Each structure stands twice: as structure tokens, then as C-alpha cells.
Amino acid sequence: MTIDWQAEVDKRKGALLADLHDLLRINSERDVQHATADYPLGPGPAKALDTMLTFGRRDGFTTKNVDNVAGRIAYGSGAEILGLFAHVDVVPAGDGWQTDPYQPVIKNDRLYGRGTADDKGPAMAAYYGLKIVKDLGLSVHKQIHFIFGTDEESEWVGIHRYLKTEPTPDFGFSPDAEFPIINGEKGIASFKIDVLPPKNKISGEYTLQSFTAGIRDNMVPGTASAVITGANPGELQQRFDSFLASHPVDGTITGHGDAIQLNVTGKGAHASQPDTGINAPNYLALFLDSQPLSGHGAAFVHVISQYLAKDTDGTALRIAHHDDLMGDLTSSADLFNFSLENHQANVTINVRFPQGITAEQINRRIVQTIGANVVTSTILGTPETPHYVSGKDPLVKTLLQVYKDHTGHQGSEGIVGGGTYGRIIPRGVAFGAEMPDQESVMHQANEYIPLAELWQATAIYADAIYRLAQ
């Protein structure tokens, strides 16, 4: 049987867009501050999950909601389970949007909104791929479980809860990365570095009162602000203007009584690709480290300036590591918190590491490099270990063949620093939806997915699901 998958997608473009718009309008940022017994991760993620499962019931699939933190849309029968893994939560919208991030809009054949690329757009493409297989009445010989999590961008509570109580798929893929395939993912760990009050007095004309930046430990911060006292506004303005002229950031200075606030704007990015962003707080720290600061604030910005700023591979921290298969370690400083009043001085860095080094080794090296008398370092949560599925695995071979058949391009194995649900099972990979030549806009302001990419991905997913389910 020859199936024109793209023609089947063309018949459903309007319905797919309508469903995707409904999903994108939901602010599904993880919101534990408003958690309840019914909504453990907040009302937004639960609403997005319910919306997705409602689509499934409408279209005749079997669905299951697991404690409002995960869910399943199921089809087919057989001894084996093919798993599709997507997430309906999103990272916070952040600043810098030209449109309302939760009111999707189409401009220049691109669909803009938070979650269009990561992961609501690809999830909907995969769902309609599954729907096409069902609508056509194609025979499948495996169970197909499309599993949705609601906090992939943070702690993975939902997917872990699901796998504790529900059947674990035998193999599968996540539509949450890029084509042609991602069959290897680096390890992921975040480290909270606390800068200790200096033992020796640091004298200076200025006092740092606060320094804040970042909203998630997997997002390169695009903005940063600091408040200092004791400075001459005119003199500081002149120095700041000179600094901005020679660095790729914008900034402002405003006065508040006897305090001066400095704001810096760079460019946000996904923490797995820190070199694609412009880390605003790193540049702010570089500037402040060149000024006559005193006390704890001076020690704080000096650590950032010396060991974190302009360093995305961990060289300055002496945690750099290379693996011939997985490539280089990356390091991204993403959360900054200094408060003189509250005695807080910490930076959280997100590290994506290849096989051959562990989170524990990285943690020890951080302290050894900076000095145990200067900082402490703590591993946050449970690190993700490196994950790899052999290119010889039939799963990988099949998906690469599907990609080639639809694009005409020969695909090859791929390793990334991003973490997807593909790593949640031993024979799990990530497959699309971003095309190789497409700009990566995940976790950035003005996130979008090209409509042509959305349609092509849907056809690819339909074909891939059908082949894998034989």
C-alpha cells in the first residue's frame, strides 16, 4: 500500500492548527506556588494535559490521566509497546516578546508563541501523525502509547510518576528535539555555587546591595540587574557607557535615592547551547568586577568574572571534558542571586556532560578550582546520566530511513546536550521536529515554528509511527 502522507496532512491542516492554538493559549508553566491536591504542579500544566487528553477522547482514542501530572493516549494492540513521549509544559515566557506569548499568531508563515517549538507544536504534529494512522484504519501490531508529561522543563515529576504505575514502553521516540535523529544525550546536572563572605576585608567605594538574574536553571538569562550604593552617578555612567560600547550587550543606569540600579540586556538561549546566547549577568559581573566594590559583593562578582563569564565549556572551572562520541561538556550560568540584606550570594550553573565524567567529579572540581575557602557547591536534584542508543538499533535505522524518504537527505546519528523524554527508557531517542537548517528558538523570546516544518514533521511522524508499529 502506498500512502501519500503529506496529502493526508494537507486534509487536516485546519484542524491541527485549531487544536494547537487551543493548547498554546494555556500558560502551562510549572506553578507549584499554586499547587493543590488535585493539581500538584499547578493548574496550568494540568489544564494543558486535560486539553490534550480531551482531543484524544474526541478522536476515539483510549486515554488515561495519572494524577493530573501525566497522561496517555493509546491505540492498537500487541505484545510490545511503542512509546511516544511529549510534554505540555513550557518554560516561563520571560521578557523580549513582540507578541503575547500565550496568544499564538501567524506571521510570515511562522506560528509564534511559547511552546510552538518546545514542545506543543511537535507534540501536536506527532498526535496528528497517530490520528492519521487511526483515521486510515491502518493495521498496527503493537500497542501505541502517546505519553504526556507536565514538567519536563524542570524535575520530571510527571513522567517518573507515570512510569511507576503504568507500563513502560519497550522502545520509542520523543518529538522534542531535531531531525534527523538524536540517539545520544549528554548527562545533565545543576550546581548551586554559594560564594562565602570573604575572610579578609575587601575595601572599596561601592557596596553591592543586590544582583539578580535568571528564571530557570535551563535557560541562559537575557537580562540582569544590580543595585549598588556609594557610587558617583555621573562617573559610573561614563564607565558603564564605555563598557557597553565594547561588549555585545545593552544597558541602563537609573537612580533610586542613594542607590543606583544597573540593568543589562543580552540574549536568552537554551542552556544546552550557551554559546548561542548572550549571558547578561555574566557581562554585568564583568563590569562590576572592574569597579571598586567592597565586601561580600566584591567576592561574588569576582567569582563570576573569573570562573563563569565568557566560559561555556568549563575551562575556567577546570571541568572541561571531551568524549569522541558525545563531544564537549558545556556549562551555563543561569540563576544569580545576591542580597546583602538577606546574606545570599549564589549562582546556579547548568552543565551538560558527556560520558567519562560524573556530576560528583564536576562538583568536587568546582570547589577545588575556586577554593573551599571561597565557595561551596551543591548538586541540585538528581543528575541525568549520559544516554545512548546504538546506531545499529532497528529503531534508529527505521527512523533515519523515514527521514530520508521524506526529505531526500541522508541522516546520521546525533548527540546533543539537551535533555528529552527520549532518555527515559533504554531504547528511547528524540526525533524532530526541528529541521537541520532551522534556527533554534527553544527557550527564547519570540519562539516560533515554521508552518512548512510543522506540516512536514506531521507526515514524517505518521509514517514513522506506522512503520514502527508493524
Cell output for 399: 527512523
Give strand ranges (E) for 305-426: 322-323, 327-328, 330-339, 344-353, 375-384, 387-388, 415-416
CA dist., res. 73 & res. 164, Å (int):
17
CA dist., res. 406 & res. 171, Å (int):
22
DSSP SS3 for 129: helix
Nearest Cα neighbor of 229 from 194, 252, 203, 255 is: 255
Cell output for 114: 511559547
- Secondary structure letter of residue 409 according to DSSP: -
Report, as residue numbers or ranges, the catalytic residues. 89, 152
- Secondary structure letter of residue 182 according to DSSP: B
With b for 16 or more beta-carbon neighbours within 10 A and e for fewer, the 178-200 pattern comes to bbbbbbbbbbbbbbbbbbbebee
The CA-to-CA distance between both ends of the chain, in Å, stands at 14
Residue 403 CB neighbours (<10 A): 23
Helix, strand and coil percent figures for the chain, each rounded to 5: 30, 30, 40
Nearest Cα neighbor of 386 from 187, 201, 252 is: 187
CA dist., res. 385 & res. 31, Å (int):
26
3-state secondary structure 29-63: ECCHHHCCCCCCCCHHHHHHHHHHHHHHHHCCCEE
Nearest Cα neighbor of 43 from 63, 57, 28, 58 is: 28
Which neighbouring-strand residues pair with 265?
Answer: 223, 250
Contact 321, 299 (CB under 8 A): no
24 residue type, one letter: L
Q: Measure CA 335 to chain center.
A: 14
427-to-372, 393, 433 alpha-carbon distances in Å: 41, 8, 19
